[in-house]
Structure 1
Amino acid sequence: MGIASREGLRDWLRAPGSLSRRLARLGQRFEVQVLSQRIAPLRRLERQALGLPRRGLTLVREVILKVDGKPLVWARSALHQSALAGPWRALKGLGHRPLADLLYHDRRVSRSVLQPRRLARHGHTRRQMQRQWQHAVGEPASPQMLWSRNSVFRRYGAELRVMELFVPEVAERRPVLVPRRRTRGRV
């Protein structure tokens, strides 16, 4: 990856706000392909990010975000199972809508600082992503698909961790800035 590509990827890793909205500006059609939504054991980094004990279960949602049919991001969100009965219960019915629909339309949701992180080439998360990518896309994930951004969203004290892993080609793409139309009563 060249210097310009690294700079472009750095911009994506640090961009505030909704990744879904930013991706949608790259083309005509944005879509969320749900790969899995299940109850699973907590992983070490998820436990640490959510401040949870060693034992317990989490709801995990894994998706691929696509623009004009091209897969650009593999994302994994996780929260403690107990939060499903409380502040994050709407996650169960999210379906193919982006997670951003829950996160950026509620002023009671706050977000931690974005933390870029390079995945281990042979770690559990990378192997999981590769299996799902191959099955969903029909071709292997790029070996250079290593950089993710991580953050924790909080609502009424319940936390949701989101990890977004980028294809290297996203570094070359820039969102098209569309002027926002002003509507009455909205900013």
Structure 2
Amino acid sequence: MMHRINTVPVWLPQLPPLTVPLSEEVLQLIQQPSLTRAFKSLGGEFAVNLLYLGKGKNDTGWLEQQAGDYFIRDVLLSYNGNPVVWARSLCLSEAWEWRRILDCGTRPLGEQLFDGSLAVTRSPVEYAIAGDCSLPGFDGQALLARRSVFTLNGQTLNLAECFLPSVAEIGK
């Protein structure tokens, strides 16, 4: 399960200049703290497809490296039947509380992270042009990526969300 990235993304604290024009509605959606809430607020059909849950490698190069083994959740978010976001959540294998949270099937992770039930903190969100990359479990390219780190009881969860070309069709 090796995934190579041919270009190293440059992570920025704001949206980088985009090569594909996106509507103001989509640009605002991309910058919302919770993509789950943002997509659900649009009124269409929002779904989570679980691609992978289990041990793995931090092989995309988009998330902070830590020493140790990893536990990964890869999902594909769809809006009105179209895949719009590929996301990876990653924690150390011994981060049992995060592992329990990640083992939520097709329930959106954002429901748990943003419902106020967890004492989590979040790093500032960083954005990057996705570049030439391979997304595990999905045969397609991403336009843009964002990443952040959640902390709960001293343990971290890295989250990368990659916006797929069909996100540009929202609101058209």
- Please say whether Structure 1 and Structure 2 have the same fold, judged by a TM-score greater than 0.5: yes
Partner of 2:111: 101
Q: Give 5+ residue unaligned stretches, structure 2.
A: 1-17
Partner of 1:74: 86
Q: Distance in 1 between matches of 2:56 and 2:69?
A: 6
1:13 aligns with 2:30: yes
* Aligned residues between the structures: 152
Q: Distance in 1 between matches of 2:143 and 2:74?
A: 16
Larger Rg computed on CA atoms: 1
Provide the alpha-carbon RMSD of the alignment.
2.5
Amino acid in the other structure paired with 2:159: V
CA contact (8 A) 2:63 2:147 kept: no
Amino acid in the other structure paired with 1:97: R
CA contact (8 A) 2:71 2:99 kept: no
Percent identity, please: 30
> In the TM superposition, what is the alpha-carbon distance from 1:97 to its structure 2 partner?
0.3
Instruction: Describe the superposition over 1:36-81 as per-residue Cα deviations: whole angstroms up to 9, x where unpaired.
Output: 1120123454344xxx23xx21111111101221111111110011
Bigger fraction of residues in helix: 1
> In the TM superposition, what is the alpha-carbon distance from 1:14 to its structure 2 partner?
2.4
Amino acid in the other structure paired with 1:60: I
Partner of 1:30: 46
Q: Give 5+ residue unaligned stretches, structure 1.
A: 135-140, 175-187
